[in-house]
Amino acid sequence: MKLDDSEPKQSLKMKCARPGAFFLALLLISTTGLFLITLSCNRAENAPSFCSSGSFLDQYSPAFLSQQRTMDDSSSSSNSSSSISSFSAFDHFTVTPSSCSSAAAPFLLLIVFSRPNAFARRESIRRTFGSLASSCPSQTINSSTRSIRILFILGQVKDADLQEEIEREAKTYDDVVQSAAFVDGYAEATRKGIALFHWALLHCPQANFVAKADDDCWVNLPRFVKVLRKHQDKEGIFGLFWAQGAPVIRDPANKWNVPYADFPEDDFPPYVSGILYAVSRNVVRKLAEAVTVLKYLWHDDVFITGMAAKEAGVQHWGLAGYDVKGTSWKRTTCAKKAFLAIHYVNDANMDALWNDKCQSYEVPC
């Protein structure tokens, strides 16, 4: 007996159609529900807690998704798509202090990485080792500049009130640089470093050295200046030198993870620690130009002092006296004398180090 397969095909077709109709209806109901909730949140004076900023409604808005993609693109795992292709993009600043005097440029321009809302930390640095810089007026001695200038660099903010606070602070102290090239964030450290060099090139090109420091780093400023003076006839990058580079971390769960797409080699090139380093005058432009031909990496110390230095043929000079983990200094009799730089120092410890009578810092000019 010949089986008629037309009916089973009809049934199969109907069965396949039902799930599609079901999911279409479900999608319609979900969309309608989300619309009604959003409408309720927008109209209600006492909206439910889930209507607040950062709620699930925000997470599904086009603005949030767009912002999330931007954040992801600047994270440690997804900077593979771009390079710093435009040199001039980093020449623009929302807030900028006065330019250095061409008649008596500083021997050392130290620019500290800072977060926009870190007002207390900036004040802590100003009243401790940063106060030594203000003790060195611009002057020229035997054709060698002796002054020191300390600035703080940060990126754009989206909060108008915070921006007003930053501008008031900048007007008061004349030491805040705010780049217009990026929105501030941890994953924007490389862009912050590039902006640092651009400000120096535009507004303080005569400085003998341009240095970068983290804002949780204690700097023995007299010792730093003394060491750099010994090396002022050399050209290169000066800091805690990792001659063997470092193995690249591939674990996605690790915040330092770098995908193969971003950096295919197993080891980073030699570089210096981003805690504190200095760059001689002629090297600043070389590094700023070298980054434009490299694939972007958000690890600023590796990208700038490693990859860009390699591209530009810049030499490294190792400096001693770093407490990288920020633990050794607590076991030292006179830490402010023993170390050049101490990492992970909070505001209280900044004051403790400054007030320690074991060593009185000499004015480094």
pLDDT reported for residue 86 = 61
pLDDT reported for residue 25 = 52
What's this model's pTM, rounded to 2 decimal places?
0.75
Please give the CATH topology (third level) of the domain spanning 82-355.
Answer: Spore Coat Polysaccharide Biosynthesis Protein SpsA; Chain A (3.90.550)
What are the sequence ranges of the domains in the chain? 82-355
pLDDT reported for residue 365 = 63
Query: Between 10 and 232, where is the model more confident?
Result: 232
What gap in Å lies between CA 1 and CA 296, rounded to an integer? Answer: 72
- pLDDT tens string 59-99: 222 222 233 323 333 333 334 335 665 667 788 999 999 99
What percent of the chain is modeled with pLDDT above 70?
A: 72
**pLDDT surpassing 80 at residue 181:** yes
What gap in Å lies between CA 85 and CA 194, rounded to an integer? Answer: 12
Across the range 243-271, mean pLDDT stands at: 90
Across the range 100-108, mean pLDDT stands at: 83
pLDDT reported for residue 163 = 98
pLDDT reported for residue 243 = 86
Q: Binning pLDDT at 50, 70 and 90, where does residue 362 land?
A: confident
Whole-number average pLDDT of the chain:
79
